[in-house]
Amino acid sequence: MSRHVRTIANSELQIRDPYVLPLAGAGQEAGTYYLYGSTDSNIWGKGTGFNVYTGKDLKHWEGPFPVFRPEADFFAERNFWAPEVYEYGGSYMMFATFRRKDNDLLGTAVLTSPHPLGPFTPHSEGPVTPQDWSSLDGTLYVDRQGQPWMVFCHEWQQTGDGEVCAMRLTEDLRNAAGEPAVLFRASETPWTTPFVSARYADQLNYVTDGPFLFRSGGGTLYLLWASFINKTYALGIARSGSGEITGPWIHQEEPLYQQDGGHAMVFRTFSQQLMLAIHTPNQTPHERPVFVELAESDGELRVKA
């Protein structure tokens, strides 16, 4: 473990795209939350790798523990973003976004480790997302038939109107097993507004960021995703009308969270409370993890009063 390990509160912890893996464990590790995320101090530049923090109460964390550091021949060297870690097939699998050296496009790759503290090493040969697409924020979804999927964003900088897409994966998660399908575009939803960008001023831009899927206790399949309202980062939520990944996706009229926060995920605490993990504000280096209780009513999710 790093000699720089210390106890740190949420208010002091710079992290984007927070992702929590709760593990019941045994002994000293029993009831431990593992907090992953984009942990470089400047995530817009050269990538160092990813760190994880561990904690028991979602308020105080020990760390950082380095879980991924690239070898010299790694396919990317900047923009290391949004790691998510899952127990799958007897290992821990990480989906993370990187900017490729060869074509300067973003893509989501898969890494693996026998332990949630790493080290994680490449599992797929580079990104699994389409090679000529700028794709980011890939997340794992396993359907009721046991088929793994990657759900990801086709970036607005390439499409103008950002897309949320789903693509079947091989069972070992190393490759695509089908062509990506567009689940929805940002402009098709009720709450987003155009994103003004000086670099892309000649096109009408709508952003999609950070998709995440989860099934409620009642069986409803929900999808979180982020965009903007009048230049402010916000979090939306949709539910599948069919209960399957193919949708149709029905969007709540109002965003779930709109206080300059986004790229969220949902998990259950060890007391079974449904909890939202989100970063806010959306400005580097001020991003902090925030945890918000959720409640489900009449087929919709709301921040718990």
Task: Tell whether the model's pLDDT for residue 29 goes beyond 80.
Answer: no
Q: How many Å apart are CA 304 and CA 266, to the nearest integer?
A: 13
pLDDT classification of 77: cutoffs 50, 70, 90: very high
pLDDT exceeds cutoff 50 at 247 = yes
* Structure token digits, residue 173: 């998660």
What integer pLDDT is reported at residue 299 of this predicted model?
78
pLDDT on residue 182: 98
Query: Residue 17 — very low, low, confident or very high, per pLDDT cuts 50/70/90?
Result: very high
Instruction: Look at 27 and 178; give whichever has higher pLDDT.
Output: 178
Residue with tokens 């779930």: 256
Domain boundaries 6-303, CATH class:
mainly beta
Q: How far is CA 107 from CA 76, 174, 275, in A?
A: 10, 14, 28
Give me the mean pLDDT over the 87-110 stretch.
97
The pLDDT of residue 5: 77
pLDDT top residue among 29 and 23 = 23
Q: For the ranges 87-96, 112-121, 196-205, which has the lowest average pLDDT? A: 196-205
pLDDT attached to residue 3: 53
pLDDT of 69 reads 98
- Provide the Cα torsion 276, 281, 282, 287; round to 10°: -80
Q: Is the pLDDT of residue 207 over 60?
A: yes
Q: DSSP letter string over 2-59? A: -TT-EEEEGGG---EEEEEEEE--SGGGTTEEEEEEE--SSTTSB---EEEEEESSSS
And the tokens for 40? Answer: 């470089």
Q: Where are the domains of the chain?
A: 6-303
What is the 8-class DSSP label of residue 207? -
Q: Give how far the C-alpha of residue 91 lies from the chain's centroid of Cα atoms, to the nearest Å.
A: 19
Reported confidence tier of residue 1, pLDDT bands at 50, 70, 90:
very low
**Average pLDDT across the chain, whole number:** 95
pLDDT of residue 4: 72
pLDDT average, residue stretch 133-158: 97
Q: Is the pLDDT of residue 114 over 70?
A: yes
pLDDT in tens, 172-201: 999 999 999 999 999 999 999 999 877 767
